[in-house]
Structure 1
Amino acid sequence: MKTYDIEVQRLKSIRHDKGLVELYVDAAVLPRPLRDDQAGSSCVRLPVEHARSLLILLKQQLAELDKLQPRSRRSGRA
């Protein structure tokens, strides 16, 4: 598996489309060298203010999705 360092430089928008949440960002994507002490996974880095914005936007999108669910499905049970 290829691993990458992904640095989010700017959050542009977020939207829900057909069961997927799409994030539009400006990001720098670089191959990540594999180290012996790390698992083979990619790393996403973003400034704290972007993380806070992302959290707010995700909460808004999830709230909108919950409104679309019938009341019997909103209890959190799958």
Structure 2
Amino acid sequence: MKTHTVEIQKFKAATTTGHGEVIFKIDAIINPRQPVEGIEPSSVITMTEANARVLMLLLKTQIAEFDAKKPKSRHGRHG
């Protein structure tokens, strides 16, 4: 498995697909990362606090979009 360090520079856009996926357009710096001996190889994503806050807002928006597309239940709520 190839491992990388992905440094998010900027989130540009987020969209949802009809297949339950969220796609992000980003500017990023991606560099190969050597696996640490004895630890499962993993890639790492890093970002600033500001970009983490943008990611949270984008995720909330995209999850709300998923929820809006789900059929409303006719059962369960009374009143």
TM-score by length of 1: 0.85
Amino acid at match of 1:18: G
Correspondence for 1:17: 17
Correspondence for 1:41: 42
Identical residues among aligned pairs (%): 34
Structure 2: any 5+ residue segments left out of the alignment? none
Correspondence for 2:3: 3
Correspondence for 2:69: 68
Amino acid at match of 1:48: E
* Runs of 4+ displaced beyond 6 Å: none
Alignment RMSD:
1.5
- Which has the higher mean CA deviation after the structures are superposed, 37-46 or 51-60? 37-46
Aligned pairs, number: 73
TM-score by length of 2: 0.84
Amino acid at match of 2:58: L
Q: Flag the structure with higher helix content.
A: 1
Amino acid at match of 1:21: V
